[in-house]
């Protein structure tokens, strides 16, 4: 199991991520008046649908300034930065990839958000947080790299308070056809654990949550991938974008994910649940 976790962390490691992002950020400033935290959204919200998908979840979680929020698999901290900016809440994140946490904390410091956000290198199955610490929780495109869904949701239940609203947004199985790899979360099936929606519902409910809503968003994925392809066709990728975190084979990964969605094998799915 440890080898699998190491493989996952290696898959996401870039090597010079912070400098690449900062160069892209400076280039973007020449053509827009958007704030840095908004410009970063195109690269640090590493999930299908990007920032609009995060905002759609935010609207359902009723986050208040007094809330402490857990972001499971926080990546570079993009979701944490958006939640803090929108709601004024504090956010703690956990992610397996050391480079993501190092870069995320550095960006938070540069943006003056390090007093509201703390990111930690940690396994989602064993997070360094006390029981019942959080009023809300988010998890965006994380479960595809975790085989043990039962322990994952048990750990989220352990760290959240009774009544906490939680948003889970993962790529899930919608049929049994083999997937085409590589994709954004895995080079091959050895570190890909995409599960059916029914399995998510079962494990969420078995580990202390009431499921409030389930929304399959294949249409969001199709529009998202079409927009990426159109930007590339119109003149290449922008200075900041998910191609930075997906690596040199980003075009292949996007094409494969779009194909897997189009043939009905996978779809991004949003589940809103309440801790019992």
Structure tokens at 120: 């930690």
CA distances from 6 to 12, 156, 195, 260 (A): 10, 21, 21, 26
158-170 confidence digits (pLDDT tens) = 999 999 999 999 9
Look up the CATH number of domain 2-121+129-275.
3.40.50.150
Strands 134-140, 266-275: pairing kind:
unpaired
pLDDT > 70: what percent of the chain? 99
Among the ranges given (82-91, 191-200, 235-244), the one the predictor scored with the smallest mean pLDDT: 235-244
Domain ranges of the chain: 2-121+129-275
- Cα angle 149, 204, 275 (rounded to 5 degrees) comes to 130
Predicted TM-score (pTM) of the model is 0.96
Flag whether pLDDT at 1 surpasses 80: no
32-41 confidence digits (pLDDT tens) = 889 999 999 9
Flag whether pLDDT at 77 surpasses 80: yes
Contacting residues for 233 by C-beta, under 8 A, at least 6 apart: none
């Amino acid at each position: 199991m440890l080898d699998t976790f190491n493989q996952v962390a290696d898959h996401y490691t870039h090597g010079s991520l912070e400098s690449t992002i900062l160069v892209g950020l400076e280039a973007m400033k020449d053509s827009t008046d958007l704030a840095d935290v908004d410009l970063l959204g195109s690269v640090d919200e590493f999930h299908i649908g990007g920032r609009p998908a995060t905002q759609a979840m935010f609207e359902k979680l009723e986050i208040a300034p007094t809330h402490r929020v857990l972001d499971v698999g926080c990546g570079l901290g993009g979701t944490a930065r958006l939640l803090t900016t929108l709601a004024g809440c504090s956010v703690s994140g956990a992610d397996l990839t050391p480079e993501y946490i190092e870069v995320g904390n550095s960006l938070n410091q540069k943006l003056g958000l390090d007093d509201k956000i703390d990111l930690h290198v940690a396994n989602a199955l064993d997070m360094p947080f006390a029981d019942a610490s959080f009023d809300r929780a988010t998890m965006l495109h994380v479960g595809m790299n975790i085989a043990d869904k039962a322990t994952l949701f048990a750990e989220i239940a352990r760290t959240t308070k009774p009544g906490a609203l939680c948003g889970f947004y993962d790529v899930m199985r919608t049929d049994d056809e083999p997937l085409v790899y590589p994709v954004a979360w895995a080079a091959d099936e050895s570190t890909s654990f995409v599960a059916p929606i029914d399995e998510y519902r079962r494990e969420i409910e078995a580990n202390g949550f009431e499921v409030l809503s389930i929304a399959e968003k294949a249409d969001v994925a199709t529009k998202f991938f079409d927009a990426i392809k159109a930007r590339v066709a119109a003149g290449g990728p922008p200075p900041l974008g998910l191609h930075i975190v997906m690596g040199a084979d980003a075009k292949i990964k996007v094409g494969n994910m779009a194909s897997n969605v189009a043939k009905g094998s996978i779809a991004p799915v949003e589940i809103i649940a309440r801790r019992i």
